[in-house]
Chain A
Amino acid sequence: MANLKKLYDAVLNGDAKTAVAVTQEAIAEKLDPAVLISDTMIPAMAEVGRLYECEEYFVPELLLAARAMKGSLTLLRPLLAASGTKPTGKVVIGTVKGDLHDIGKNLVASMLEGGGFEVTDLGADVSPDKFVSSVRELKPDLLCLSALLTVTAPSMRTTIEALKQAGLRESVKVMVGGAPVTPEFAREIGADGYSENASQAVVTARQFCHPDKAA
Chain B
Amino acid sequence: MRLLLIGCGVLLRELSDAIVHSPHLIDVQFLPTGLHDSGLKKMREHIQEATDAAEGKGYNAIALGYALCGTGLADVQARSVPLVLPRAHDCITLLMGSREKYKQYFNANPGTYFRSIGWVERADELQDQVVGLGLEGGLEALIEKYGEDSGRYLYEELMSYEHSYSRLTFISTGLEVDDSFRQKAQVEATEKNWKFDEFAGSTTLFHRLLAGDWNDDFLVVPPHHRIVATYDDQIVGAVAIDEPRK
Query: Chain A: residues with CB nearer than 8 A to chain B?
Result: 14, 16-17, 58-60, 63-64, 67, 98, 100-103, 106, 124-125, 148-151, 153-154, 157, 179-185, 187-189
What B residues does A63 contact at CB under 8 A? Answer: 153-154, 157-158
- Chain B: interface residue total (CB-CB under 8 A): 39
Partner of B228 from the list A17, A184, A189 (CB cut-off 8 Å) is A184
Partner of B161 from the list A60, A101, A157, A181 (CB cut-off 8 Å) is A101
Partner of A182 from the list B67, B74, B161 (CB cut-off 8 Å) is B74
CB–CB A59/B229 < 8 A: no
Q: Mark B203-246, 1 if CB is under 8 A from A, else 0.
A: 00000000000000000000000001101100100000000011
CB–CB B146/A64 < 8 A: yes
Q: Mark B118-134, 1 if CB is under 8 A from A, else 0.
A: 00000000000001111
CB–CB A180/B142 < 8 A: no
Return the chain B residue nearest A154 by Cβ: B231
- 8 inter-chain pairs at a CB distance below 8 angstroms, sorted by A residue, are A14-B150, A60-B142, A102-B164, A150-B69, A150-B89, A150-B229, A180-B68, A185-B231
CB–CB A188/B68 < 8 A: no
Cα A185 to Cα B145 with chains together (Å): 39
What A residues does B106 contact at CB under 8 A? Answer: 98, 151
CB–CB B134/A59 < 8 A: yes
CB distance from B106 to the nearest CB of A (A): 6
Partner of A64 from the list B110, B131, B153 (CB cut-off 8 Å) is B153
CB within 8 Å: A-B pair count: 91
Partner of B132 from the list A58, A100, A149, A184 (CB cut-off 8 Å) is A58
What B residues does A181 contact at CB under 8 A? Answer: 71
CB–CB A103/B158 < 8 A: yes
What A residues does B146 contact at CB under 8 A? Answer: 14, 60, 64
CB–CB A103/B157 < 8 A: yes
Return the chain B residue nearest A183 by Cβ: B245
CB–CB A60/B154 < 8 A: yes
CB–CB A151/B102 < 8 A: yes
Q: In the complex where A98-B106, A103-B158, A151-B106 touch, is A179 in contact with B89 (Cβ < 8 A)?
A: no
Return the chain B residue nearest A60 by Cβ: B134
CB distance from B36 to the nearest CB of A (A): 8
Return the chain A residue nearest B157 by Cβ: A63
What A residues does B231 contact at CB under 8 A? Answer: 153-154, 157, 180, 185, 188-189
What B residues does A187 contact at CB under 8 A? Answer: 246
CB–CB A100/B154 < 8 A: no
